[in-house]
Structure 1
């Protein structure tokens, strides 16, 4: 069994497209296949001054922390600091990078696999250090992810592609998915959408046929970009022997 640890740079994830992320799905992902979750840490910011003065903020924040703990995460708080810079502008800062890096390095002695949720390129040296200790490092991010961080990791996967990690708003009964276009033929206007299912054995890639006529305001250049994420509905086409296809294709608005 692979001994796995999850480390979440929560403020980076929140500000870079991952607001509302489901921590229970992270736990399911980490425990899938031949893996067991040993450590789960989330590093968050708290404004103590606002906590004391704003009851609504305090209630929402602590309820959020309780949800994380119920999912099995240890909550590590970094308190917001307020200071005036050289230009007289009030600035706030709450950076937990050092805490995350130190914890990961110490705890990695008992781990085989680290799942790091961040897009911050400052963690490249941590990734390399963990790899040198024998750990496999998998990075999950949303928007504004450092290209160097992606390259340093053993694998990178957009959090938008992990089923349920950020729930998709769709009418009841509609099979709405997120994926990327692969094997697109611009001359004939068709290709396949690659998406994932989260099963007990792990993330399972699947693909479904699509034609560009089923897309709203999407051009060939976007279909040829394998980093571009789409949302689409999987249907059985009654005019094509009920073949499964991707319809109502839209660029992810994230």
Structure 2
């Protein structure tokens, strides 16, 4: 069944993603992306933190947490819990820790023997050695993250894609118009005040297609040339048809501060 398929596994460092811009991420969209084209999703693991003291004493926390875990399972993920540990450091400060790095790394290394492609969701540079090890085993490693992403991690991966640019993975911050997109500026001409926004769309097979649309700086009253000259900046915008020349262009452009 899987002989001609790209056998894929997803490993989500859920706490890192949640704390670094990915709160509210749609796991079903992630599954759709991972299983698109000629790929077959064989493993999907999410590594989550649970504070057992709060679970026992705080009914609201327990209800929200377990509902979140149920959503992950409904999307086809195995939920691996790392229980929060509380300890007092040398200065008498109470510290909490729930690091699932080791669990994720061991699972990925063991399961990679049956995989061709691994999608790793984290921005943590601690996973660089894991990526190199997986690549040496013959796996293609793709990283998805949102903000506070290690530059070395990006460079180490076979491909890095900002989660902000994946259609539907996160809700928009500037309105729910179905024409709303997120993209990065390319080929910006500061003297003439125009360039192009590169964004992604999903085709019928769930594959990401890179597209571009013209924009003029006048459609972004709160932005400036410096922002448009940096292709790492992410913008939200609507795609409209210019009534004067019939050209498709980006409008209502807002810089996404990440």
Same fold flag (TM > 0.5): yes
Task: List aligned pairs for 1:26-105, cutoff 5 A.
Answer: 26-105=30-109
Give 3-state SS (helix, strand or coil) of 1:51's partner.
helix
Question: Which shifted more, 194-203 or 1-10?
Answer: 194-203
Within the candidate set 240, 248, 254, 2:252 is matched to 248
TM-score (norm 1): 0.97
Question: What is aligned with 1:202?
Answer: 207
Task: Give me the whole-angstrom Cα distance separating, in 2, the residues matched to 1:149 and 1:209.
Answer: 31
Task: Give me the whole-angstrom Cα distance separating, in 1, the residues matched to 2:221 and 2:135.
Answer: 43
Deviation at 1:224, TM superposition (A): 1.0
Within the candidate set 104, 108, 114, 2:112 is matched to 108
Deviation at 1:216, TM superposition (A): 2.3
Against the structure 1 CA distance between its residues 224 and 91, is the aligned structure 2 distance closer, same or farther, given a 3 Å change threshold? same
Question: Which shifted more, 119-128 or 186-195?
Answer: 186-195
Over residues 156-212 of structure 1, what are the superposed CA-to-partner deviations in whole Å (9 max), with x where a residue is unaligned?
000000000002155564511100001111111111100001221511011110001
The reply to whether residue 125 of structure 1 matches residue 142 of structure 2 is no
Question: Which shifted more, 85-94 or 194-203?
Answer: 194-203
Task: Give me the whole-angstrom Cα distance separating, in 2, the residues matched to 1:183 and 1:112.
Answer: 35
Question: What is aligned with 1:136?
Answer: 140
Task: Give me the whole-angstrom Cα distance separating, in 1, the residues matched to 2:140 and 2:165.
Answer: 20
Task: Give me the whole-angstrom Cα distance separating, in 1, the residues matched to 2:218 and 2:21.
Answer: 29
Question: Which shifted more, 163-172 or 47-56?
Answer: 163-172
User: What root-mean-square deviation, in Å, do the aligned CA atoms of Structure 1 and Structure 2 show?
Assistant: 1.1
Deviation at 1:253, TM superposition (A): 3.3
Task: List aligned pairs for 1:144-159, cutoff 5 A.
Answer: 144-159=148-163
Within the candidate set 214, 217, 220, 1:215 is matched to 220
Deviation at 1:70, TM superposition (A): 0.2
Over residues 127-180 of structure 1, what are the superposed CA-to-partner deviations in whole Å (9 max), with x where a residue is unaligned?
000000000000001010000000000000000000000021555645111000
Task: Give me the whole-angstrom Cα distance separating, in 1, the residues matched to 2:176 and 2:125.
Answer: 39
Unaligned 5+ runs, structure 1: none
Please tell me whether the aligned partners of residues 131 and 137 of structure 1 are also in contact (alpha carbons under 8 angstroms). Answer: yes
- The alignment covers a number of residue pairs equal to 253
Unaligned 5+ runs, structure 2: none
The reply to whether residue 9 of structure 1 matches residue 13 of structure 2 is yes
Give 3-state SS (helix, strand or coil) of 1:58's partner.
helix
TM-score (norm 2): 0.96
Please tell me whether the aligned partners of residues 34 and 201 of structure 1 are also in contact (alpha carbons under 8 angstroms). Answer: no
Against the structure 1 CA distance between its residues 172 and 105, is the aligned structure 2 distance closer, same or farther, given a 3 Å change threshold? closer
Please tell me whether the aligned partners of residues 181 and 193 of structure 1 are also in contact (alpha carbons under 8 angstroms). Answer: yes
Deviation at 1:237, TM superposition (A): 1.0
